[in-house]
Structure 1
Amino acid sequence: MLKRLLGSAAAIAMLSTVSFAQSTDTNQMTPQAQPEPPAQTSTVFQYPPEVAPKVPADQNFSAVEGKVLASGVIGQPVYDGSGNEANRIGDINDIVIGQNGVAQAAVIGVGGFLGIGEKDVAVGFDRLQLATQADGDRWFVASGVSKEELNRAPAFERSEMYTGGIADPDKANRNKQDETMPGNTTDGTKQGNPATPAPNTTPAQ
C-alpha cells in the first residue's frame, strides 16, 4: 500500500513538473501584445476672432434671436416664398460647416417624388430666410433662387467628397481624376465603343 502511495505521489509530482514546464515554455513563446499607438488628432475648427465664442465652454449659451440648433434645421422644408401660395422646393438634409466653425451651406434635397430621384444641392445659408406666421408656424424660404434653378444645379455628392461626414480631399481628388480619365464620362461612367453602323441593305442596282 505504501509503495502505491509513493508511486502515485511521484507520478503527480512528475506531471506537475511537466505541466509547469509547458506553461512556462508557452508563456515564453507568446509575444507580448504591443500597445496601439494613439490616434492622430488635427484641428477641425479654427474660430477667427470675430466669430469665436464669447462665453466659457462650461457655460450654456443664452437664447438669442437668430440662433438655431442643427436639429431644428435638418429635416425642415424649404419653400420658394413666404405666402400661402408658396411651393415646396425640398427638405434640408444636411449642413456644411467650414473650418471657421460657421455653417456655410444647407444641403437641400430637390427633385424626385417621395425621395425617389432626389438629388442634394448645396445652398449658402445667406440665401435662406426664416418665415414665421402669426400662429408661430415657421419654414425656410430660399431667397433669390427658384426650384427650377436648384433642379438644374450640380448635385452635391457627399459620398465622393466626405468620409464619415468629414471632408476627404484625397477621395475627392481620386474621384475627379477618375472622371477625367480617357474613356470616362463626366459622371464617372464608362463610355462604350462607338456604335457600329448598320449594314447597307439597299439592293445593288
Structure 2
Amino acid sequence: MNKMPIYAAAATILLSTTAMAQTTVPPAMPNTPAATTPMTPGGTSGHSAFIQQQRADQHLASNLIGMNVYGGADENLGEINDLVLDRTGTVTAAVIGVGGFLGVGQKDVAVPFQAVEVTRNADGKNRLVLRKTKDELKAAPEFAKYEAAPATTGSVTPTRPATTPPATR
C-alpha cells in the first residue's frame, strides 16, 4: 500500500491548522484616543507601535519654534528659538530669543517649559504666554548650548623599536 497520499493529506491538514491558529490584533476601542496607545516592547510591528494622530492637548514643536511669546501684560517678550528635551522626550525648557533688533543683539534665555502657558485659540492657533517681563528676561543669564570638549590632537612621536645589543658568547 502506498502511504504517500496519506502523508500528503496529513501535511496539508497540519499546515492549514497552523494558518487558522494565528491571531489578529484586535482593533482599538472606539473611545480610546489613538495617541495614547502604548508602544509594544521591543519595537514589534503593528498599529499599537505607532501614534496615529495628534491629540487636542498636544502641540508640535515645529509649530512652537518661531512663535512669539507674550508676557502677562500682552507685551511681546521674544520668540521661541529652540526647545530642550531630556532623554525621555520631555520638553524641559523653552529657549527664547530676547532683545535685539532683527536678531542683532539678541540673546537666548532658557525658561522651564512648564512656565510657558501654551493654549490653543478657537481658530486652532497656538498662543504662548510667559508670566515674566521684558526686563526680567533681559536680566536673565544667557543660555549656553552644550558643546563637547574638543578632542586633543597633540602630535604623537612614533617610538622606535628597541635595539638589542649583539649577543656576546
Q: Secondary structure at the match of 1:116?
A: coil
Gapped regions of structure 1 (runs ≥ 5): 1-52, 163-167, 172-205
**Sequence identity percentage:** 39
Structure 1 residues 149 and 67: alpha-carbon distance in aligned structure 2, compared to 1, 3 A threshold: same
Q: Secondary structure at the match of 2:38?
A: coil
Identify which of structures 1 and 2 has the higher relative contact order when contacts are C-alpha pairs closer than 8 Å and 6+ apart: 2
Per-residue CA deviations over 1:85-119 (Å, capped at 9, x if unaligned) read 61111111111111232110011000111111000
- Contact kept in structure 1, 2:93 and 2:113, CA below 8 Å: yes
Deviates more, 1:67-76 or 1:147-156: 67-76
Gapped regions of structure 2 (runs ≥ 5): 1-36, 44-48, 151-169
Q: In 1, Cα distance between the equivalents of 2:116 and 2:142?
A: 18
Query: How far 1:137 sits from its partner (Å)?
Result: 3.6
* Alignment length (residue pairs): 108
- Contact kept in structure 2, 1:55 and 1:61, CA below 8 Å: no
Could you tell me which of 42, 51, 60 is aligned with 1:60?
A: 51
**What do you get for the CA RMSD once the two structures are aligned?**
2.4
Alignment of 1:73-112 (within 5 A): 73-81=64-72, 86-112=74-100
- Contact kept in structure 1, 2:84 and 2:92, CA below 8 Å: yes
Could you tell me which of 140, 150, 155 is aligned with 1:153?
A: 140
Q: Where has structure 1 moved over 3 Å in runs of 4 or more? A: 131-137
TM-score by length of 1: 0.47
Structure 1 residues 55 and 78: alpha-carbon distance in aligned structure 2, compared to 1, 3 A threshold: same
Could you tell me which of 104, 109, 115 is aligned with 2:103?
A: 115
Q: In 2, Cα distance between the equivalents of 1:121 and 1:61?
A: 34
Structure showing greater radius of gyration is 1
TM-score by length of 2: 0.56
Q: In 2, Cα distance between the equivalents of 1:99 and 1:59?
A: 19
